[in-house]
Amino acid sequence: MNYRQLGRTGLQVSEVSFGTWAIGGSWGATDDQESLRALETAIDEGVNFFDTADVYGDGHSERLLAQATKGKEDRVHIATKFCRRGDIHDPATYAEEQVRAYCEDSLRNLQREAIDLYQVHCPPQAVLEDGRVFEVLDKLQSEGKIRAYGVSVESAEEGLICLRYPGVQALQVIFNLLRQKPLAELFPKAHAHGVGILVRLPLASGLLTGKFTKESRFEPDDHRSFNRNGESFNVGETFAGLPFEKGVELADELRWIAEGRGTMARAAQRWILDSPEISCIIPGFKNKAQLQENLLTLDTPGFSTEEQERLQRFYSEQVAPHIRGPY
């Protein structure tokens, strides 16, 4: 395993870390025993960082992580998120009393005395511009409830707003071959501020595995079905904001990246890690086999300058015009 600095947090995190949305819910059926076996495998392989949220299965993924990391709290770091259990547009959701309640609930679920990285979970831009939630987080940090805090954002613009606040030490962003906008401005500025970057949805909800066809179908409780057009939350969280059928077409044109790199999934994630500003990728998983496939990214060859330029042209000319929602 390779490790990178997570901004100014003092944490060294595994380049390939993991998100736990899929094992908590909203990605179809789950199997807790299989999830726990996968988590155990990850830790044995040197993965020392996991991302979760209080709404993933209503705390279920937090409780699974508590079980998997029991006795290993000093060497396995956990990031969790808050605000989406309430009305994200209501200022009371970000008031001290409510944020404390969210924090205490997550601490109980995680069975920990402190949260390594506490993140505001994709709030409206107005909340970030207001900034009062960061004063609450400063207080929790001074009390030792949280060790560091950051924000999970939906767009590059939101990320740039977060950089105005000196206490923000990490940003979680959607970034992949089908959503490259953060490269232009956000990543260089975050690096200059010493802010770590966590990359979620590195495979664009599975598009970049190359396994889907336009006829692919998903279970009703999978967000790739119920949020395909942003019906339940930001459309960018599903297929990187692309219409599914168009996303399949675009992914098909990227099959060449797998040449000499094993699979499209490994290649797509290797491309992300080629950016030095990235702290880690946090792909999801539902079983041990998927987790092990993601770990093979570590042994995957990187991309040449010519290949990088080809991929950036492809994005700007063929992908970007089709992305929906703010990004």
Which residues are catalytic, by number?
56
Whole-number Å distance between alpha carbons of 280 and 205: 17
Whole-number Å distance between alpha carbons of 204 and 251: 10
Strand runs labelled E in 83-203: 117-121, 149-152, 168-174, 196-200
Q: Which two tokens stand for residue 245?
A: 């059928």
- For the chain, give the number of residues: 327
Q: What share of the chain is helix, strand, coil (3-state, %, to 5)?
A: 45, 15, 40
Residue recorded with tokens 């996968």:
38
Alpha helices in the chain (DSSP H): 21-24, 32-44, 60-68, 96-110, 125-130, 132-142, 156-162, 186-192, 223-226, 244-252, 264-273, 288-295, 305-314
- Max Cα–Cα distance, the chain, nearest Å: 53
Residue 26's DSSP bridge partners are none
